[in-house]
């Protein structure tokens, strides 16, 4: 089966690309990146609620977002400057996770219509170094391991 989301991260490079085809018209896809309430909804998951502390969707704008867990504790905060904001075409921005050693990444989002009802997003993400890119790439892998580990502890705890 063809994967809908593709990640291309060549070894030894400080960038990567993420591409995805959507069963959505271009305008609707772009709206998912422009309306604060929709952005918050998309960034939230069963474990955390996302909130935009600041969002200026325009050229030379900026943003700041945070996620809180069920107890209201802030688990994630990120911010960045928006360089270009061209409706239905392109967004370029920086992204930085606050209080982490991952540095700044430059993100270039390109939106294109495939048909009247389908569209495509091309993301090009450039990191400060090869090492930093690899650290970020490994993050979900490490989290996955942690989650598996916690789950095992949880199950093991019940067996006691």
Partner 1 sequence: MNLRRDVFQAIADPTRRAILLLVASQAMTAGAIAANFETARPTVSKHLQILTECDLLEQEQYGREIYYRLNPEKMKEIASFIEPFRKMWDDRFNQLETIMKQIQSKKSE
Smaller CB distance to partner 1: residue 35 or 96?
35
Distance from C-alpha of 70 to C-alpha of 76, rounded to nearest angstrom: 13
As a whole number of angstroms, the distance between CA 8 and CA 147 comes to: 25
Q: Is 100 in the site for partner 1 (CB under 8 A)?
A: no
Our CB check for partner 1 shows the closer of 89 and 138 to be 138
Q: Is 114 in the site for partner 1 (CB under 8 A)?
A: no
The residue count for binding partner 1 (CB under 8 A) is: 31
Cβ proximity of 42 and 30 under 8 Å? no
Computed over its alpha carbons, how large is the radius of gyration of the chain?
18
CB 145 to partner 1: min, Å:
9
Query: Would you say the C-alpha torsion 135, 138, 81, 77 has a positive or negative sign?
Result: negative
Is there binding between residue 150 and partner 1 (CB under 8 A)?
A: no
d(CA 96, CA 17): 18
Per DSSP bridges, beta strands 5-8 and 104-113 are unpaired
Task: Check residue 146 for interaction with partner 1 (CB under 8 A).
Answer: no
Q: Are strands 61-69 and 104-113 parallel, antiparallel or unpaired?
A: unpaired
Single out the residue of 14, 15, 31, 94 in contact with partner 1 (rule: CB under 8 A). Answer: 31
With CB under 8 A as the contact rule, the residue among 69, 98, 128, 140 that binds partner 1 is 140
Query: Does residue 47 bind partner 1 (CB under 8 A)?
Result: no
What residues make contact with partner 1 under the rule CB under 8 A?
Answer: 3-7, 9, 11-12, 18, 20, 22-24, 28-29, 31-32, 38, 41-42, 45, 121, 130, 134, 137-141, 143-144
């Amino acid at each position: 089966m063809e994967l809908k989301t593709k990640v291309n991260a060549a070894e030894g490079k400080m960038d990567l690309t993420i591409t995805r085809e959507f069963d959505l018209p271009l305008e609707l896809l772009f709206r998912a990146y422009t309306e604060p309430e929709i952005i918050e909804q998309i960034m939230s998951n069963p474990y955390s609620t996302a909130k935009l502390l600041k969002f200026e969707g325009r050229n030379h704008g900026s943003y700041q977002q945070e996620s809180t867990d069920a107890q209201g504790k802030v688990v994630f905060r990120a911010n960045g400057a928006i360089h270009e904001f061209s409706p239905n075409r392109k967004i370029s921005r920086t992204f930085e996770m606050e209080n982490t050693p991952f540095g700044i990444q430059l993100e270039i989002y390109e939106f294109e219509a495939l048909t009247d009802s389908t569209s495509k997003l091309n993301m090009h993400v450039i990191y400060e170094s090869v090492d930093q890119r690899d650290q970020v790439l490994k993050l979900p892998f490490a989290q996955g391991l942690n989650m598996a580990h916690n789950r095992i502890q949880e199950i093991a705890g019940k067996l006691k």
